[in-house]
């Protein structure tokens, strides 16, 4: 059975690999595979390097989290997700706003494929709300007249009922999600930035320590490591921050 819960501090880091070419992919995977748990590949990666580059990451001993945020009719998302398994993806996400049927069909199709091919079923996450969204965007632009944390929790409940492994959600909602949905329901926190890094384009950001103390299982972090003068040193600093936060949490 695939390990869902992280074991070491480094396993909690999902490195956003938003690069422009295959050479950079190989460089970062070779440089950082011992300091992060997964390499996140998403739309920038897909459109610049191509999905076949995932095979290269696997060949260089990297584990892959595919951030595709799939949302379509249930059959389309289920079929696309099974195709990810054929590429060797370890971890991927779909959009909770696609609805319970879409999520449930995806989980069922992936489990059937995994059993038929004698492989571990994938870790499937549901995206609750993009980290670039705030309350104003949710209410005034999307017309969702509900508190943003309540909205995230509602989508998380729907996702769990559909059978997904966990959600991508902000650290501020992690404690409540764990309380209501259980410790085994994993929470991945996006938009993580150490205090020494530039904020960039996210509105809702959090430090690695804050995320871990809040109960988050995995953190997604990119530019603070990949854009650092010394990426390995940057990754080690984050690992240390996570280890210290875990000690505080256990006290």
Concerning whether 69 is annotated as a catalytic residue, the answer is yes
At residue 168's C-alpha, the angle toward residues 85 and 96, to 5°, is: 75
Maximum distance among all Cα pairs of the chain, rounded to whole angstroms: 48
Of residues 10, 63, 69, 213, which has the active-site annotation? 69
Contact between 226 and 17 under an 8 Å Cβ cutoff? The reply is: yes
Q: Tell me the DSSP string of the chain.
A: ----S--SGGGGEEEE---SSHHHHHHHHHHHTTT-SEEEEEHHHHHHH-TTHHHHHHHTT--EEEEEEE-S-HHHHHHHHHHHHHTT-SEEEEEGGG-HHHHHHHHHHHHHHHHHTT-PPPEEEEE-S-TT--HHIIIIIT---S-HHHHHHHHHHHHHHHT-SEEE--HHHHHHHHHHH-TTSEEEE-SB--TTS--TT-SS-B-HHHHHHTT-SEEEE-HHHHTSSSHHHHHHHHHHHHHHHHHHHH-
In whole angstroms, how large is the CA radius of gyration of the chain? 17
Q: Which residues pair with 92 in a beta bridge?
A: 66, 124
Active site residues: 69
């Amino acid at each position: 059975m695939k390990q869902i819960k992280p074991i070491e501090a480094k396993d909690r880091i999902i490195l956003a690999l938003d690069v422009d070419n295959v050479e950079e992919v190989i460089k970062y995977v070779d440089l950082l595979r011992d300091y992060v748990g997964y390499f996140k590949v998403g739309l920038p990666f897909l459109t610049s390097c191509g999905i076949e580059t995932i095979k290269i990451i696997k060949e260089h001993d990297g584990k892959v989290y595919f951030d595709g945020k799939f949302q379509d009719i249930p059959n389309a998302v289920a079929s696309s997700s099974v195709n990810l398994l054929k590429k060797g993806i370890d971890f991927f996400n779909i959009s909770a706003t696609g609805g319970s049927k879409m999520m449930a069909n995806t989980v069922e199709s992936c489990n059937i494929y995994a059993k038929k091919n004698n492989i571990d079923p994938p870790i499937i996450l549901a995206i609750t709300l993009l980290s670039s969204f705030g309350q104003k965007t949710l209410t005034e632009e999307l017309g969702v007249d509900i508190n943003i944390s309540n909205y995230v929790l509602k989508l998380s409940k729907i996702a769990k009922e559909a059978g997904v492994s966990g959600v991508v959600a902000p650290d501020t909602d992690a404690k409540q999600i764990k309380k209501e949905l259980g410790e085994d329901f994993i929470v991945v926190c996006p938009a993580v930035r150490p205090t020494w890094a530039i904020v960039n384009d996210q509105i809702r950001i959090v430090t690695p320590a804050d995320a871990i103390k809040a109960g988050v299982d995995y953190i997604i972090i990119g530019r603070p490591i990949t854009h650092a003068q010394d990426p390995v040193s940057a990754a080690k600093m984050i690992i240390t921050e996570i280890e210290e936060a875990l000690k505080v949490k256990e006290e």
